[in-house]
Chains A and B, each alone.
Chain A
């Protein structure tokens, strides 16, 4: 099942009140700034700022952590593999037949930690960025930021249909199970699943045509229509100045000698 990122969009916090257009641009800048850092201490500071933003947004940490579990599994191999090498440059620790495993040294551990922390910080910042308003309003904000209209429309519809098609596929899955189908690692499973997905596509095409005619008949002309209007106030600018300023500060700090690049690669 797909869970919704905007589950806590109805909370009240300074970040929820922040104009989504400003919020998107500001936090996006912060994400890029953190990713561009090459110093472990600065990345840790970036991570702390992400944690602070999540705290201010009042989104429960249990929710954030449950979402970040997958990312963690994804970046963990880097942390485990990078400190070791198969080339004979480091300290030899084991011989596995023809292959020699060596340890690269503490710098490489720091380098790996930096990569993992950067990836986690970036994902953590998604929560205050788009978890604090309803998805339709976030998409309306993208239109307000003058993204290509067709792209914005695609985001809106795709987001809507992910849930519909997920339900639809669940039904197919239940139908298969009730006929005694079990997923195994064989060719039969693969071809059966392929045909189930093929059917999902055929049905999706038909559904898409019906959706389009229905929308046309209700006056769809390719713009996002919501009742929500954006009004940027002084507080929105102050928040933006604060977050973007912090992002720039990180970059300025990175140029100083105190925070030289970690790992030395």
Chain B
């Protein structure tokens, strides 16, 4: 969805994106243990595979974005996951751009971190099958907010680059409004499901 291609944004924007990504990535990697690598990788692969699933809604086809979900499940470690997923998406499918990997990671990853904060504040990460409705509700809010923020970031970046992107921005944002609802429902259902089936996964980082 909100992958920005090469050559669209002003260079200070995508350059700045790389800088922000490098800083957060360095911090997240310092928090990460070598033992975490296989688990994070399998989850990254699962996010990657799930984001390839398309569902037709009305005339358009939407796919899951899952940045909010990654944030809810992984906290700060969602950032390297999203980075790796975007790099592989770019190299395997040509989605997005190469020079814009940094800024695209910011657009997806920073909302994921905010989604995590919302979820943590709302549920206290104390999730049991009995509290599944609460987890579900805050999961849905986190999932929706993550997409809204990703869209706002994208719109702000396109508009600062130049007024000739005004119409493109309007088009991109308006076509993604249904995705906010889809993603909120999706994250809510999936968090509720995991809360019932294996609630201990939320504490695992």
Closest partner residue, chain B, to A187 (CB atom)? B185
Contact A194 B193 (CB under 8 A): yes
Chain B residues whose C-beta falls within 8 Å of the C-beta of A199 in the assembled complex: 193
Asked if B116 lies at the interface with its beta carbon under 8 angstroms from chain A, I say no
3 smallest CB-CB distances across A and B, nearest first, come from: A118-B7, A157-B41, A161-B45
Asked if B123 lies at the interface with its beta carbon under 8 angstroms from chain A, I say no
Asked if B71 lies at the interface with its beta carbon under 8 angstroms from chain A, I say no
Contact A165 B45 (CB under 8 A): yes
Closest partner residue, chain A, to B181 (CB atom)? A190
Interface centre among B26, B73, B186, B201 (most CB of A within 10 A): B186
Given contacts A82-B167, A193-B55, 6 further A-B contacts (CB under 8 A): A2-B52, A70-B93, A78-B8, A86-B170, A115-B8, A161-B42
Interface size class of B (residues with CB under 8 A): 35 or more
Chain A residues whose C-beta falls within 8 Å of the C-beta of B166 in the assembled complex: 85-87
- A contacts with B, residue count (CB < 8 A): 78
Closest partner residue, chain B, to A82 (CB atom)? B164
Of A114, A154, A183, A185, the contact of B80 (CB 8 Å cutoff) = A154
Contact A81 B168 (CB under 8 A): yes
**Interface residues of A, dominant DSSP:** helix
Q: Mask for B65-107, Cβ within 8 A of A = 1, else 0?
A: 0000000010000001101110110111111011100000000
Contact A5 B92 (CB under 8 A): yes
Chain B residues whose C-beta falls within 8 Å of the C-beta of A121 in the assembled complex: 6
Asked if B121 lies at the interface with its beta carbon under 8 angstroms from chain A, I say no
- B interface residues (Cβ-Cβ under 8 A, vs A): 3, 5-8, 11, 25-26, 29, 32, 34-35, 37-46, 48-50, 52-53, 55-58, 64, 73, 80-81, 83-85, 87-88, 90-95, 97-99, 162-168, 170-171, 182, 185-186, 189-190, 193-194, 197-198, 201, 204
Q: How far is the CA of A34 from the CA of B92 in the complex (A)?
A: 21
Contact A161 B41 (CB under 8 A): yes
Asked if A8 lies at the interface with its beta carbon under 8 angstroms from chain B, I say no
Q: How far is the CA of A199 from the CA of B201 in the complex (A)?
A: 12
Closest partner residue, chain A, to B188 (CB atom)? A194
Q: How far is the CA of A201 from the CA of B168 in the complex (A)?
A: 35
Chain A residues whose C-beta falls within 8 Å of the C-beta of B170 in the assembled complex: 86
Tell me the residues in window 143-187 of chain A with beta carbons closer than 8 Å to chain B beta carbons.
Answer: 148, 150-151, 153-162, 164-166, 169, 183-185, 187
Contact A75 B5 (CB under 8 A): yes
11 A-B Cβ contacts within 8 A? A74-B3, A77-B168, A85-B164, A111-B164, A121-B6, A123-B97, A130-B91, A157-B45, A185-B57, A190-B185, A205-B201
Contacts A81-B171, A204-B43 given; does A190 touch B182 at CB 8 Å:
yes
